[in-house]
Chains A and B, each alone.
Chain A
Amino acid sequence: MMPRLFVALLLPLAARAQLVLVSVDGTTESPVGSTYDFASVAASDAKDVRFRARNTGSSAVTVTTLAVNGAGFTVDRPSLPFVIAPGNFLGFTVHFAVGTPASYSAALQVNTISVILLARSVLAPALTIFPACTADATTATVNFPRVPKGSMGLCNLSLQNPYSQALTVSNLVVTGDAAFQGPLGVRMPMTLQPGQAVTFTVQFAPVCGKASYSGALTINSRTYPLAGSGFDPPLPKPILKFDSAGFGSAQQRTLAISLPTAYPCPASGYVHLAFTPDTQVVTDDPAILFVATGGRTVPFSVNQGDTQVLLGSQAQAIFQTGTTSGALRFTLDAVGIGIDGAATTVLTIPRTAVSIGSAGASRRVNDLDVELIGYDNTYTAGVMSFTFFDAGGNAIGPGAIRADFTADFRAYFTRIQSGSAFVMRATFPVTGDARKVAGVEVELTNAAGVFRTQRILFQ
């Protein structure tokens, strides 16, 4: 008989040992002892605490009792009895809400586990949020307006004592992201007389590389979430500097870019070069390009807090002006952030007379060959005259020989669509002794003027 009695006494103890009560904050469980303190709760506010009755044993436990007895406390639980499998738990929430400031207690019973719940309802000051900050009516979140990164936004708030008795504010702190700083303008602790109000400020300074921020403003026992967002401000209108004035064709020039003010965050993008020719003979000029990339685009970057715009990691970028008159357009594309002001700078390449960079002349038995290498950025060349000279420097009759190769040049430019650079070779049949022809001068006319070569000596 004695052995059976012993077993019967041990069974309830074994069942109790399997059930453990914990409180839950987020995903963190904390063991609950004989008391649990809800701490201070602002009058008219409510506070919920989640609990779990966890079965840590190896056999199922049936919860038959789960109750809270005490003013201001209620429990939200599943219906009973509730069977908790080994390793599983029963979750429930205890809700505390009262209107009258005082200390409160209640008894929480889970099967044989008894816990005393404690709470204090306290007076809380009224918080007023001034524009441009706003309050979320549902979550009580204080929302800051969007602030450019590198700048600071402010939120002005006030605390007022709406009660007929003095109210002490002992805890007024800002926590969370370091972008939130404050409170500024108040000292703790402070006592608010009935009807008295004080104002204070919370700062918000978003940093590079992060867009959304969260924090909390705690006033005594009441906590208000803080939310803010930062954005990359547009790049200040860049200053484009060229190596010197006087733009023309067949040049390699340098472009440097700076900002009028330091940009707060790292930035990057592209400088695009576009070209609109004056002529309709060609639609573009492929020699207009950035030499570093061989194309019409060069990447740019700005280091944090710098005014220097690096072009392909260099302080400057060399570009070619090509051999076509028209408009060069430099456009900055600051990826994702935009530019404050016009992002385009236009350079004009003026129309000029034909330019000849290299000229040669050679003779054969009955022919004279003249070779000219140059460009015509107007695409109107063709009218020429050739004057041949003997060794004494005298023009050889019949004097200037005029020719109009306009159609040939037009056909050539149209065919190659590759700028206006050309090699022209002209052959002149000679009757007589070609060796007596010592030199030639060539005059080339286009819409912008006349170019005359120096005397080209026959080799």
Chain B
Amino acid sequence: MRILIAVFGICAYAQPALERPGLGMIVDANGALRPVYGIAGSVTLGDPIAAGVLSTACSRKLCLSKTATSILWGDQETAAPPGPALFALDGNRAFVYFPQSNQLMRWHDGVLKPMDFDIGGEILSLRAAHGRVEFAVRRDGEFWIVRSDGAVLGALTGAGAPVMLLKDGALFKAGDALIVRRDDGTELSFDLTGVESLLPMGAGYVQVRAGAAAYALCVEPEREQLFVLPEPLP
């Protein structure tokens, strides 16, 4: 069967939509949530859109931020257990873990519903996989990937904290390096001293804070790139 691309339709429908590219959201050193505009290596920070943010996670579809007592989404907020949170975004839903109260909840449209889980050790990261949630945990100095029922899915050999589970692997600190390890066993290493935190920015980027500087790491396969994020103007 012949495929016809409607030539006339190009003028009528292929009118391009042009937008300013964005890399997602970051939490700056002052705890303000800011959009990041531009492309890799050439970015600017937008004005703060929320203050007092402890943790955040963004994807193309959803951006959730945790303040001391609530979860921010868009221009709305949902009351939440105190302290920071770990997020696993799953489309327009999310799994949320509250380390301070050791609670796991399902978030959807501003509603939090508690979930049962049986995880030993310190939970460092979450990811959604096939509608379920998986965890990176530290047990006796070793790092594991486990399911909510406690089943071990794999080991993160050589990993150190912080750890972030990616959809197809994991990102973690290892000495003075930041390692992207894919599920197929391949690894990429970036020299970076003093990695302290990893936050998903959205659009395939992770915010890395190391000392006084913040970096953006593209974790999309074959597009991996680490660059410095500008500090906000005073």
| A residues neighboring B (CB under 8 Å) | 249-252, 286-287, 289-295, 318, 320-323, 357-358, 367-368, 373-375, 388, 390, 396-398, 401, 403, 405, 408-409, 412, 416, 418-419, 421-434, 436-437
Contact = CB atoms under 8 A, between A and B. Distances in A.
Contacts of A367: 13
B52 interface: no
Contacts of A320: 41-43, 230
B128 to A, nearest CB: 19
Nearest first, the 9 A-B pairs at minimum CB distance are A412-B18, A429-B9, A294-B230, A250-B42, A431-B4, A291-B230, A294-B231, A425-B17, A287-B42
A430 B2 CA distance: 11
Nearest to A318: B228
Contacts of A431: 4, 6
Contacts, number: 136
B16 to A, nearest CB: 5
B233 A293 contact: yes
Interface in B7-46: 7, 9-11, 13-21, 37-45
Contact of A403 (B10, B38, B41, B228): B10
A293 B5 contact: no
Given A249-B42, A357-B39, A437-B5, 16 more contacts: A250-B39, A289-B230, A290-B230, A295-B233, A318-B228, A357-B40, A358-B220, A375-B39, A403-B11, A408-B15, A424-B18, A426-B17, A427-B13, A428-B13, A432-B4, A433-B3
Given A408-B16, A418-B44, A429 B228 contact: no
B17 A424 contact: yes
B117 interface: no
Nearest to B204: A358
B10 A428 contact: yes
Given A287-B38, A287-B42, A375-B42, A422 B19 contact: yes
23 contacts: A249-B42, A250-B42, A251-B41, A291-B229, A293-B231, A318-B228, A320-B43, A322-B42, A323-B39, A367-B13, A373-B39, A375-B42, A403-B10, A405-B16, A408-B16, A421-B37, A421-B38, A428-B5, A428-B9, A428-B14, A430-B3, A431-B6, A432-B2
A291 B7 CA distance: 46
A421 B18 contact: no
A68 B74 CA distance: 98
A416 B20 contact: yes
A429 B13 contact: yes
B223 A421 contact: no
A275 to B, nearest CB: 13
B18 to A, nearest CB: 4
Contacts of A323: 38-39, 42
A426 B39 contact: no
